[in-house]
Amino acid sequence: QVQLVESGGGLVQPGGSLRLSCAASGSIFSIGVMGWYRQGPGKQRELVATITNGGSPNYADSVKGRFTISRDNAKNTVHLQMNSLKPEDTAVYYCNVRRSISQYQWRDYWGQGTQVTVSS
């Protein structure tokens, strides 16, 4: 019902930068919080950053000060600017969009994931 297309992943050296993008399409009305999650090899999926409709961001401690999340509500897109990348940032990054169905009901949608590899 909601399709998310991610782009921007790749291989980068430590200290480098990448910019991830995610575009939502389909039943995109009532979209709420958007965010990015990641899952490294053998690890649980973890929160990287989220951003509210009004543009208020929240970051995991491990990326705070290095990553910046932003969104464009008119274009239904969310971005993650990643600077000063570390090998520990290596993971598959997933875009997440929450859509409100009713006052107390919502549904989460996930992108297919994009690989980010930080290595010399």
Q: What is the pLDDT along the chain (120 residues), one digit of tens a residue?
A: 899 999 999 999 999 999 999 999 998 888 899 999 999 999 999 999 999 999 999 999 999 999 999 999 889 999 999 999 999 999 999 999 999 888 899 999 999 999 999 999
User: What confidence score (pLDDT) does residue 71 get?
Assistant: 96
pLDDT number for residue 101: 86
The answer to whether the beta carbons of residues 5 and 22 sit under 8 Å apart is yes
Residue-level pLDDT at 29: 84
Q: Where are the alpha helices (DSSP H) in 58-104?
A: none
User: Chain-centre distance of CA 15, in angstroms?
Assistant: 20
Distance CA 22, CA 80 (A): 9
| Residues pairing with 69 in the sheet | 80
